[in-house]
Amino acid sequence: MEKVINARIQVKPEAIDQFISFAQVIVEKSNQEDGCRIYKLYQEVGTPGSFIFYEVYDNQEAIDYHNGTSHFKTFIGQITPILSESPQIVVF
């Protein structure tokens, strides 16, 4: 069953460019994963530090695979110190 993830990320103002640099890598690599249909990043208009990841996967197994990849783990380690609040993640 298809799974969709919306993840809202709030980045410290001084780290926006750094976040975008990190995000470019995960977007590129995630879109190459089997089971990943869409992996996109959007920046909220009017709120430069607010980003939304929109992800579509074939099923829960594809999400589990993604969450176990080295590029996902590296990305989480890179962005954790530059977030201004905890991510808000919705899966449906």
For the chain (92 residues), the mean pLDDT of every run of 10, in chain order, is 98 98 98 98 96 98 98 98 98 96
Give the model's pLDDT for residue 2.
98
Instruction: Kindly list the distances between the CA atom of residue 79 and the CA atoms of 44, 50, 61, in Å, as whole numbers in the listed order.
Output: 18, 13, 24
Domains identified in the chain, total number: 1
The amino acid at 16:
I
Q: Which CATH number covers residue 47?
A: 3.30.70.100
Give the model's pLDDT for residue 72.
98
Domain that holds residue 52: 3-91
Give the model's pLDDT for residue 85.
97
Single pTM value for the model: 0.94
d(CA 5, CA 63): 9
Q: Coil, strand, or helix at residue 89?
A: strand
Give the model's pLDDT for residue 20.
98
Q: Coil, strand, or helix at residue 14?
A: helix
